């Protein structure tokens, strides 16, 4: 159904309004632009909330993962009609979705593959514009005891202090470790520094009778596993 740009959403037929459409047909019937329209609540004098949503998505190449990287300042700058209040609502909604996926595995969860680790860390690391280094702490049955962020750095590097890794490992009486960090650059190939810190942690862990089972590098929706590539 074609709508005139001069019509407000309230003037649309009820079945075409995002909120009413959600109530009548369910959340999955809404497009991404319509979901954004529900979040921001209203449009401007000349554009509906749905049209603003489409413009925002266009700036993010119609990629919600890309949109989630925008700051409040960037959102207000990219699309006329998106002020601080609307931008804050969008950022908060996308962050809530990320946190929903970021649920810790229970103590009963046993790590059996690199894919399990990658799937666990995707929500934490895949959308970041800077590097972070995390560890999973495991007991003798390879069951997860806890997860810890060890360091946070810049776009292309983060400095890892091995002493912090071992501090957490000893604190939680871990029998094994899985290392994980992200590459915002888009490539998941390990750098020379990645290999060096892996070897350094692995050798140091031997002193405490702790095994380093894998080192996962997350880059977008892909990952690299040191164990799968026989680099451990």
Tens of pLDDT along 125-157?
A: 888 888 999 999 999 989 988 889 999 887 767
What is the chain's mean pLDDT, rounded?
Answer: 85
Which tokens go with 58? 């266009």
Indicate if 51 and 95 belong to the same structural domain.
Answer: yes
Q: Under a CB-based contact definition with an 8 Å cutoff, are residues 130 and 184 in contact?
A: yes
Residue 183 lies in a domain: yes
- Closest by Cα among 100, 96, 54 to 78: 54
- Among 53, 79, 101, identify where a domain stops: 101
The strand ranges marked E within the chain are: 132-138, 144-152, 176-182, 211-219, 222-225
Distance from C-alpha of 225 to C-alpha of 141, rounded to nearest angstrom: 21
Give the angle subtended at the CA of 73 by the CAs of 50 and 19, to the nearest 5°: 20
Which tokens go with 42? 């209203």
pTM for the model? 0.58
Residue 232 lies in a domain: no
Residue 161 Ramachandran class (φ > 0 left, ψ -120 to 50 alpha, else beta): beta
Q: Given strand 222-225, what is the order of strands in its sheet?
A: 144-152, 132-138, 176-182, 211-219, 222-225
- Torsion angle, CA of 192/198/203/209, rounded to 10 degrees? -170
Q: How many CB atoms lie within 10 A of CB 204?
A: 16
pLDDT digits (tens, 9 = 90+) for 188-228: 899 999 999 999 999 999 999 999 999 999 988 889 999 99
Indicate if 19 and 40 belong to the same structural domain.
Answer: yes
What domain range is 40 assigned to?
A: 9-101
DSSP for residue 24? H
Residue 1 lies in a domain: no
Indicate if 93 and 139 belong to the same structural domain.
Answer: no
Indicate if 122 and 186 belong to the same structural domain.
Answer: yes
Indicate if 48 and 143 belong to the same structural domain.
Answer: no
Indicate if 135 and 220 belong to the same structural domain.
Answer: yes
CATH number of 42's domain: 1.10.150
Distance from C-alpha of 95 to C-alpha of 87, rounded to nearest angstrom: 12
Indicate if 96 and 135 belong to the same structural domain.
Answer: no
Q: How many CB atoms lie within 10 A of CB 73?
A: 10
**pLDDT surpassing 80 at residue 2:** no
Residue 106 lies in a domain: no
pLDDT digits (tens, 9 = 90+) for 33-52: 999 999 998 888 888 889 99
Number of domains in the chain: 2
So what's the pLDDT on residue 203? 95
């Amino acid at each position: 159904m074609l709508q005139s740009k001069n019509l407000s959403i309230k003037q649309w037929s009820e079945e075409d309004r995002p909120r009413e459409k959600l109530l009548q047909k369910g959340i999955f019937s809404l497009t991404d632009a319509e979901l954004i329209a529900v979040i921001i609540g209203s449009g401007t004098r000349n554009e509906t909330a749905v049209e603003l949503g489409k413009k925002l998505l266009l700036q993010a190449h119609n990629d919600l993962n890309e949109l989630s990287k925008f700051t409040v300042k960037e959102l207000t700058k990219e699309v006329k009609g998106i002020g601080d209040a609307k931008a804050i609502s969008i950022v908060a909604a996308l962050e809530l979705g990320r946190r929903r996926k970021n649920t810790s595995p229970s103590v009963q969860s046993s790590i059996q593959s690199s894919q399990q680790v990658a799937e666990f860390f995707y929500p934490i690391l895949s959308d970041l514009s800077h590097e972070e280094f995390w560890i999973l702490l495991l007991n003798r049955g390879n069951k997860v005891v806890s997860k810890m962020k060890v360091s946070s750095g810049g776009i292309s590097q983060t400095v890892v202090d091995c002493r912090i890794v071992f501090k957490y490992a000893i604190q939680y009486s871990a029998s094994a470790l899985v290392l994980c960090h992200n590459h915002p650059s888009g490539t998941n190939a390990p750098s020379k520094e990645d290999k060096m810190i892996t070897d350094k942690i692995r050798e140091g862990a031997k002193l405490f009778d702790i095994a380093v089972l894998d080192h996962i590098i997350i880059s977008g929706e892909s990952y690299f596993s040191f164990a799968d590539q026989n680099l451990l």
